[in-house]
Amino acid sequence: MSFTHLDAAGHAHMVDVTSKQPTVRTATARGFVRCSADVIAALRDGTAPKGDVIAVARIAGIQAAKATPSLLPLAHVIGVHRASVELDIVDDGVRIEATVGTADRTGVEMEALTAVSVTALAIVDMIKGIDRAVVIEDVRIVAKSGGRSGDWVRPGETAPESAR
């Protein structure tokens, strides 16, 4: 078995994608922030002590998608041409869905995962004074399109609007 991020000597290196043709690619990730009924009430009525949790979390996620190569040492610097973060407050927490798009030489799965992860972290930061037991759960890629491997939707997931 060979590993794409290791050279012949076993040292980590960035995969060379310079000869690949740019194509349109998207990836969608989802995650969940489980929190108390007190947090849900504060989110729904806009009374969280630190302000508009949802707005701050959405912007944090979009910013994170664009900053992925700064966080992950072997991620390629690519043009993030689209980044959206949707949040849905439900009875036991906040559902997060991030979709990232590019027209570049490599996919945006890591950017979508980073967007969801940082969105979740921003929520935790904004509500930790109300609920110290908050939990980030189930961060995963649910769909991707474009590139050599084509389209994919995680079995058991509903395809995001962008993949329908």
Q: Residue 52's domain is classified under what CATH number?
A: 3.30.70.640
First to last CA, the chain: 35
- CA angle, residues 55, 137, 54, in degrees to nearest 5: 10
Strand duo 135-145 + 82-90: pairing: unpaired
Flag whether 132 is in a domain.
Answer: yes
Flag whether 73 is in a domain.
Answer: yes
Give residue 134's domain range.
32-148
Catalytic residues: 125
- Could you tell me which residues are beta bridge partners of residue 21? none
| pLDDT for 109 | 95
Mean pLDDT of the chain, nearest integer: 91
pLDDT tens digits along 38-71: 999 999 999 999 999 999 999 999 999 999 999 9
What sign results for the dihedral spanned by CA atoms 100, 85, 117, 31?
A: negative
Q: How many domains does the chain have?
A: 1
Flag whether 13 is in a domain.
Answer: no
pTM: 0.91
